[in-house]
Homo-oligomer: A and B are copies of this chain.
């Protein structure tokens, strides 16, 4: 075999990151996650947070979206196939959405213009119900 599957190890740090990700259930930046971990007393290096997130993304268990500012947000991903996200710009709450019609549209437009090997990125940002009303904003995820 060329790939004996390196067998990922169960480290405390990964556990902490995973646990946090499941709790927040929303989009968070690596730095944000790192900060939250420290706040709850978990000793995890920023590097490890990044590496764990990258690992999850590669494995398809999480995915990343890039903010207009360039920072990326990560979140665990339940849905299997290709899909997109609706993210609250205030609290990070995320709704996974599928848009078969949109996927098709993107491919069609691209192919109609002679483009091949088409990929697309679609991100929808908004303010969720919980963050709309009061002066709230930072705590519904």
Give residues in A with beta carbon < 8 Å to B. 66, 68, 70, 72, 86, 88, 95, 97, 99, 101-102, 105-106, 109-110, 113-129, 132
Is the CB–CB distance between B109 and A119 below 8 Å?
Answer: no
19 A-B interface contacts by CB (under 8 A): A66-B66, A66-B70, A86-B109, A86-B115, A88-B115, A99-B109, A101-B101, A101-B105, A106-B122, A106-B124, A110-B126, A113-B128, A114-B132, A116-B127, A117-B126, A118-B126, A119-B126, A121-B123, A122-B122
Is the CB–CB distance between B118 and A124 below 8 Å?
Answer: yes
Copies assembled: 2
How many Å from the CB of A95 to the closest CB on chain B? 5
| Set B70, B113, B120, B126: member contacting A115, Cβ < 8 A | B126
By a CB distance below 8 angstroms, the chain B residues around A128 are 113-115
